[in-house]
Amino acid sequence: MSAALAFRPRTLAAWWPAGLLAALVACAILAPWLAPMDPDRQNLMARLKAPGFEARGALYLLGSDELGRDVLSRVIHGARVSIVVAVSSVLLSGVVGVAVGMLAAYLRGWVETVLMRLVDIFLSIPAILLAIITVAVLGPGFINVILVLALTRWPRYARVAYGQTLALADRPFVRLSRAMGASTPRVLALHILPNIIGPLLVVATLEFGLMVLFEAGLSFLGLGVQPPMASWGAMLSTGRNYIATAWWIATFPGLALFLLVLSANLIGDRLGDLIGKGR
């Protein structure tokens, strides 16, 4: 009995971030059905109303913004934007970065020199500055934000994949596979990638939270997702002008942003601990 009681708090501490992240992802997926109102519907007669305000049978549970739009509905739909952008940019940057890192470590020679110097160049530029410059050139928009974030973050995956592949490239099972005539793509995909996927998953989990912050930062500056599409960063940007009179406009999207990034980072830390113990 005492062992069970001792185990339960540790279990909850380990899994509540995953539950929180799952709940936020579910809100993003089910946004059209969970949101009580159209997030873009304006009602100037109900502008800047405090949480709990009710008008014409509509309850503004988290209040309304400067155009009378329901804050709760916009927060729920904003979760969809943040999560889709983060997942897409993580997948795209991960594929590019892992491919570059593995090829550099496996082929060596001039390929390694060229690819890793390219990685060094990208890593020498502040990521947020590179993102701002690139999106200013390409123009703001949903797809452009994904491309920009992927462009700025692939070198981190390349570095991890490079180091992990370098440690495995001369292992007996890899040399045996090459001796039997396996092609480079086959060796990398079937023999090396499965053995380095753990550290890459940790990086991807931590990068997910960072991508959410980057997307919010770009939207805050007006370079991300454009109105009328709901975005947490854009809501924070608008809410700062009303922080003294309508605190709820910025507080609730900021809280949602905090919880999403926190849960992703805690899951990444937990994965890192599990992989470290496995070794």
Domains annotated for the chain, with CATH where assigned, are 84-278 (1.10.3720.10)
The pLDDT tens digits of the residues spanning 3-19 come to 444 445 455 555 788 88
The pLDDT tens digits of the residues spanning 14-63 come to 578 888 899 999 999 999 999 888 898 888 888 888 898 887 778 888 98
Distances (CA, A) of 171 to 102, 162, 175, 188, 278: 15, 15, 6, 13, 19
d(CA 199, CA 223): 32
DSSP, residue by residue, 44-72: GGGTTPPTTEEETTEEETT-B-TTS-BHH
CB 53 within 8 A of CB 89: no
pLDDT at 179: 82
For Cα atoms 21, 23, 28, give the angle at the middle one, nearest 5 degrees: 95
- The model's pTM: 0.86
